[in-house]
Amino acid sequence: MVLIITGPVFSQKSDGGNVLKKGTDEYKMFMARQEFFGGDYRSALNKYKEVEKNRPNDAAVHFYIGECYYMMKTYEDALDELEKAKSINPAATAELSLVLGRTYHTRGMLDKAIDEFNIYRKTIADSPKKIAESEVDVEIAQCNTAKQMIAHPVDVRLISLLDINSQYDDKGPVLANNDKTLIFTSRRPSGDKSKIDLEGDYGFYDDVYESVWNDEKQTWSAADLIRGPINTPGYDACNSISADGTMMFIYRNDPSEARGGEIFLAKKTTSGKWKNPEILPKPINTSYYEDAGCISPDGNTLYFVSERPGGLGRGDIYTSKKIPEGWSEPINMGAPVNTPFDENGLYLTPDGKTLFFCSNGPLSMGSYDIFRTVLGSDGKWTEPVNLGYPINSVAMETKFVMTADKKTAYISTVRDSGIGERDIVMVDISNYDAMAGATATSTAATAKLSGKIIGSDNSIISAEIRILDKSLGTQITMTRSAEDGSYALEFPGDKLVIIEIAPEGYQKFSMEMNLPAGKIESKTITLQKNN
């Protein structure tokens, strides 16, 4: 989620040439805001707390304290401060209802979150902040998705891994050696103080760790740094290991070289040791962010994520074919897999026909959720399916992998019961068919609408499509038609909804619809050009 926050405005004061007199509350507030925008939330928080001592009933000060706690992911403290700010003055800042809504969302208080988001929408309805309105619509849709999924949980059991996780960020599980080795990425200290990111958030850089399964104890061993030349002084993460176990795809970002992040490939020798990773050449890596590399079982197709220009969203999934010269020009997977939002965290099953990934669009419960898409006999990937609650939650889920017997999965997730920021969690899926894509909401409870969007002159239109709840006026879901004009939507059945499309250069299209639950309908929508 992106915060759209403006800082407090102070009148200038003259004092020996200084704009603000050092030591005053105004000076502390100003400096705190600079530190906040610089990502140093703890220093900002400390300064705001100093001001609070002199202004215990200042709603704006409580808001800024709560905002710092929110960015630090200390959500209970954030909630206390933000609710205090609202009790003193609901209009303390323009963003109070937005940040309070997001905090309610993280705590699973979904109805309260929706109420706050709708308050914020009203405050910006007639302002220039249309992009903010769009973002709030997505978050309202995520809250509605969460409510549906929590009401229809899937039959799985989550198991904490105390020997794997730390108080730091642990993520990106990868299985190897017939599911007997768990490789993952962690920001825990490695004993080398130079591994602290002094140019960023002052946390430790990512390193790759591994753990081995103990058959006798039926548990994972304590994790240790992976052996071999995999880790560097910068950010290192294991994306995937090929089905035959001979190739490891790695993400690296060396801040000293100011790169956006690139994909490397390490190959295993016949003795079982990893060679030095080598950077994948153009056109795979660019000056933009590339990550999440994984390869098809035959070694001929590379899947990865890139933020290069021309995608549907910020981070999209691309494919590239192996050719004699190296790799072919990457192709965007397009809709419905890619969206106007972010996709990442790829896991391709050993048969190469099912792709699991994370996305943070309106069909997520909040932040990133895990989705699944299947390669059809026609060569097209199916509409992604959310794996459901409690695999997904209102927090962040960024990676999913599965054992060969399809009875156990591992995910990266943020949970209140966790040890650190993100944890690796084992999931018993023996009663849940992740490959079949059992959805968290019953298929019988939803309706599906697909088709094409064209202009009155038969031109193809790629446009944003919104589905609104007629009675509440809130957004249920949204998508964007593909480059060929095709679209596919799923929303609650037996419910009066409004379909809205308003691309630039065309008249706004609005239509009411009430599809029976379980109904699948196709409709071509024709838009009229502006006069």
Q: What per-residue confidence (pLDDT) applies to 421?
A: 87
The pLDDT mean for the chain works out to: 87
Of 35, 159, 198, give the one whose Cα is nearest residue 413: 159
Q: What per-residue confidence (pLDDT) applies to 476?
A: 75
pLDDT exceeds 90 at position 263: yes
Query: Residue 353 is encoded by which pair of tokens?
Result: 């026909």
pLDDT exceeds 70 at position 443: no
* pTM summary value: 0.78
SS3 169: coil
SS3 85: helix
pLDDT tens digits, one per residue of 43-88 = 999 999 999 999 999 999 999 999 999 999 899 999 999 999 999 9
Peptide bond connecting 283 to the previous residue in cis, omega within 30 degrees of 0: yes
Least confident residue range of 385-389, 469-473, 507-511: 469-473
Calculate the alpha carbon distances from 383 to 169, 214, 333, 441 in Å: 31, 39, 12, 15
Amino acid at 143: C
pLDDT tens digits, one per residue of 267-307 = 988 888 899 999 999 999 999 999 999 999 889 999 999 99
All structural domains of the chain, each given as residue ranges with its CATH number in brackets, are 25-127 (1.25.40.10), 157-428 (2.115.10.20), 443-527 (2.60.40.2190)
pLDDT tens digits, one per residue of 399-428 = 999 999 999 999 999 998 888 889 999 999
pLDDT tens digits, one per residue of 466-507 = 888 887 776 777 777 777 788 877 777 888 899 999 888 899
Rounded Cα gap, residues 45 and 66, in angstroms? 9
pLDDT tens digits, one per residue of 84-118 = 999 999 999 999 999 999 999 999 999 999 999 99
Q: What per-residue confidence (pLDDT) applies to 234?
A: 87
pLDDT exceeds 50 at position 16: no
Q: What per-residue confidence (pLDDT) applies to 132?
A: 58
User: Is the CB of residue 260 less than 8 Å from the CB of residue 248?
Assistant: no
